[in-house]
Amino acid sequence: MKGGWVARLDNMSGDNGAGGPRRSRQAPPLVAPGDDLGDSGGYEAGHGVLAINGRLRALKQGRMSNRGGTVSIEPRRTAYVPRPSDLVIGYIEGCTSNIWFIDIGAPFNAILPMSLGPSKAEFGGIRKVLDIGDAILCRVQEVEENHSSVVTMKGMGLRAIRTGSVEDIDPHLLGRLIGRGGNNLRQLKEDTECRVIAGDNGRIWLDGDLSGIVDARDRLNMLLTEAKIEEYRGDA
């Protein structure tokens, strides 16, 4: 079969013998759904990996990694699925007299109850506080079994977003935007003199002078283009 080289745990250990540390320079191997990743003995199946009949199997397209015996796949693309304490940027999509419905870019709308809203909202008058189409910076409070979630605006820095611009990026590229220890993000803020807040759902709030925002957006786009090019280099 001409399937090319399939990543397996057995052949991930590099040149210096079985069990030795993997060379850090080597890019983690790419896998496709259904790829057999080797014997599951002694390994834990992490994100995107399924243990089945004593073997590990890839569920997603992405790069395989093995950290502390947990084999997982860093997916190349993924939908945003909310988790408690995620910082997200949402849009008010609708409301009842005491609840706002928020689009947070997840499969399901989140709800923001009046009690967790930004300020003294009154029953029946909540549109005066946050209206349909408004953007908010909020935190995921709770995710229910069926994936519906509750967000809150009680907390440091959580607020309605009234100025600047919100850009969308694929959530899996956030790591690259933020960089090791937040370096890239800090650099972006310094260079453009913008406030940059990256939501875990891939929405980025840029705020500052118009020229700063335009500059920041250009850099954001450049970074993403680079990420795309790098991702594909050496894969042939």
Task: Specify the residue, 54 or 181, whose C-beta has the smaller distance to another protein.
Answer: 54
Q: Residue from 38, 46, 62, 212 that binds another protein (CB under 8 A)?
A: 62
Task: Specify the residue, 98 or 165, whose C-beta has the smaller distance to another protein.
Answer: 165
* DSSP track, 79-134: -----TT-EEEEEEEEE-SSEEEEE-SSSS-EEEEGGGSSS---TT-GGGTS-TT-
CA 124 from centroid of its chain's CA atoms: 35
Collect all residues with Cβ–Cβ distance below 8 Å to 25 and sequence separation of at least 6.
Answer: none
Q: Does 231 bind another protein (CB under 8 A)?
A: yes
Q: Does 228 bind another protein (CB under 8 A)?
A: yes
Q: Does 236 bind another protein (CB under 8 A)?
A: yes
Task: Specify the residue, 6 or 178, whose C-beta has the smaller distance to another protein.
Answer: 6
For strand 165-168 and strand 203-207, is the pairing parallel, antiparallel, or unpaired? Answer: antiparallel
What stretch of H or E contains 208?
none
The distance in angstroms from the start CA to the end CA of the chain is: 17
Q: What is the 3-state secondary structure (H, E, C) of 138-185?
A: EEEEEECCCCCEEEECCCCCCEEECCCEEEECCHHHHHHHHCHHHHHH
What stretch of H or E contains 216?
helix 210-232
Q: Does 50 bind another protein (CB under 8 A)?
A: yes
Q: Does 65 bind another protein (CB under 8 A)?
A: no
**Closest distance to another protein from the beta carbon of 197 (Å):** 13
**Closest distance to another protein from the beta carbon of 181 (Å):** 26
Taking CA atoms, 68 is separated from 21, 43, 178, in Å, by 11, 9, 24
**Closest distance to another protein from the beta carbon of 26 (Å):** 16
Question: Pattern of binders to another protein over 185-224, x per CB under 8 A?
Answer: -------------------------x--xx--xx------
Q: Residue from 10, 39, 131, 226 that binds another protein (CB under 8 A)?
A: 131
**Closest distance to another protein from the beta carbon of 45 (Å):** 12
Q: Does 3 bind another protein (CB under 8 A)?
A: yes
Count of residues that bind another protein according to CB under 8 A = 55
**Gap between the Cα atoms of 236 and 231, Å rounded:** 11
Do residues 22 and 13 lie in contact, with contact meaning Cβ atoms separated by under 8 Å?
yes
Q: Residue from 48, 199, 202, 212 that binds another protein (CB under 8 A)?
A: 48
| Residue ranges binding another protein (CB under 8 A) | 1-4, 30-36, 48, 50, 52, 57, 59-62, 75-79, 91, 93, 103, 107-109, 131-135, 145-147, 161-166, 172, 210, 213-214, 217-218, 228, 231-232, 235-236
